[in-house]
Amino acid sequence: MSYQEAIDEVYEMIKNLPKEGQVANYIPELAKVNQDIFAVHLLTVEGDNYHLGENEHIFSVQSIVKVLTLTLALEFEKDKLWDRVNMEPSGNPFNSVVQLEYENGIPRNPFINAGAIVVCDILLDHLKDPAENFLGFVRRLTNNPKVSYNKRISESEKANGFRNYALAHFMKAQHNIKHKIDDVMDFYFAICSLELSCRDACHAFILFANRGKLLTGERVITVSQSKRINAIMQTCGFYDQAGLFSYKIGLPGKSGVGGGIVAVHPGNYVITVYSPRLNNKGNSVLGMKFLEEFTTITEVSIF
């Protein structure tokens, strides 16, 4: 069965399922999206594309971006980065405050909010114009100069980001945030507001399927870094649903409360699914269902 046949067949299986889940409404602007859009795009390491639905529709990537900030920060800091953030699954919601206090302001991993905020603080050491420079990195990966942030969404999150500010203040008290809180948080809200289509997201993540290289052959990270970032996606990409995602889908991946999920089959492909209704863990309901059926039907697995 070809990937296109598998995508089409799985869509037939899930398209009439009851509309479960809710769009994220703690960021008011995010709640305004069209809830019924569904899109999927698959890009292979050979450069072949397969898709269904609105694969060019841009959506708010939210936490998906945290894989790319980690990638850039690791390039700058190498293993020193792990002095300031851990690499263990948190078993807690992505915005949890409680664990951070027990663990003295060292976040469990770079994909929960606290960990991503520390990664932003680290990037401020290295980037002159952080938001612009990071956007340049994403444009290079996607080969799409139109990729951009959404100011309405970052401002909406900033106006309501009390929990994230709480995390940042607590880490500042523990000396794990070096820069001014406002500078770190403005950068954090900007990166979360990045918008990509399913096609763009596949291109942005293809290096993790392609042993650290873009499809042009250009090397971005080492084979070993690519392996390690996939490992962190596998264990931490879905917060307190990382185990379930591993069990049902069996691929490294990353979700965002915008409703996107990117999953990587190392050596093979990247697949991105978008459907904005989320379960109570902040992961796209239909996105997870689609990927579960897709990896089952194709019988190609890393396990």
Residue 95 structure tokens: 């915005």
Query: What is the closest distance, in whole angstroms, from the C-beta atom of residue 281 to ligand GLN in the complex?
Result: 9
Q: Which is nearer to ligand GLN, 176 or 210 (CB)?
A: 176
- Under the phi-then-psi rule, with left for phi > 0, alpha for psi from -120 to 50, and beta for the rest, what region is 266? beta
Q: Which is nearer to ligand GLN, 212 or 256 (CB)?
A: 256
Q: How many residues are listed for the chain in this entry?
A: 303
47: exposed, middle or buried (C-beta count within 10 Å: 0-12, 13-18, 19+)? exposed
Is residue 238 within 8 A of residue 253, CB to CB? The reply is yes
Binding mask 9-48 for ligand GLN (x = CB under 6 A): ----------------------------------------
According to the binding rule CB under 6 A, does residue 92 interact with ligand GLN?
no
Is residue 259 within 8 A of residue 253, CB to CB? The reply is no
Binds ligand GLN (CB under 6 A): choice among 44, 69, 90, 113 = 113
Rg of the chain, C-alpha, whole Å: 18
Q: Which is nearer to ligand GLN, 55 or 284 (CB)?
A: 284
Q: Which is nearer to ligand GLN, 109 or 113 (CB)?
A: 113
Binds ligand GLN (CB under 6 A): choice among 257, 262, 278, 291 = 257
Binds ligand GLN (CB under 6 A): choice among 212, 237, 282, 287 = 282
Query: What is the closest distance, in whole angstroms, from the C-beta atom of residue 256 to ligand GLN in the complex?
Result: 4
Residue 262 structure tokens: 């990117």
Q: Which is nearer to ligand GLN, 39 or 112 (CB)?
A: 112
Query: What is the closest distance, in whole angstroms, from the C-beta atom of residue 192 to ligand GLN in the complex?
Result: 4
Region 120-139 residues binding ligand GLN, contact defined as CB under 6 A: none
* End-to-end CA, the chain: 20
Cα-based distances in Å from 248 to 12, 241, 303: 19, 11, 12
Binding mask 180-209 for ligand GLN (x = CB under 6 A): ------------x-----------------
What is the phi/psi pair of residue 293, to 5°? -70, -35
Task: Cite the beta strand spans of the chain per DSSP E.
Answer: 39-44, 49-53, 59-60, 148-149, 194-196, 253-255, 260-265, 269-274
- For 274, the 3-state DSSP assignment is strand
Binds ligand GLN (CB under 6 A): choice among 164, 268, 284, 298 = 164
- For 240, the 3-state DSSP assignment is helix
Beta-bridge mates of residue 278: 22, 284
Q: Which is nearer to ligand GLN, 252 or 282 (CB)?
A: 282
Query: What is the closest distance, in whole angstroms, from the C-beta atom of residue 21 to ligand GLN in the complex?
Result: 14
Binds ligand GLN (CB under 6 A): choice among 94, 149, 205, 290 = 94
Query: What is the closest distance, in whole angstroms, from the C-beta atom of residue 164 to ligand GLN in the complex?
Result: 5
Binding residues (CB under 6 A) for ligand GLN: these are 62-63, 94-95, 113, 157, 164, 192, 256-257, 282
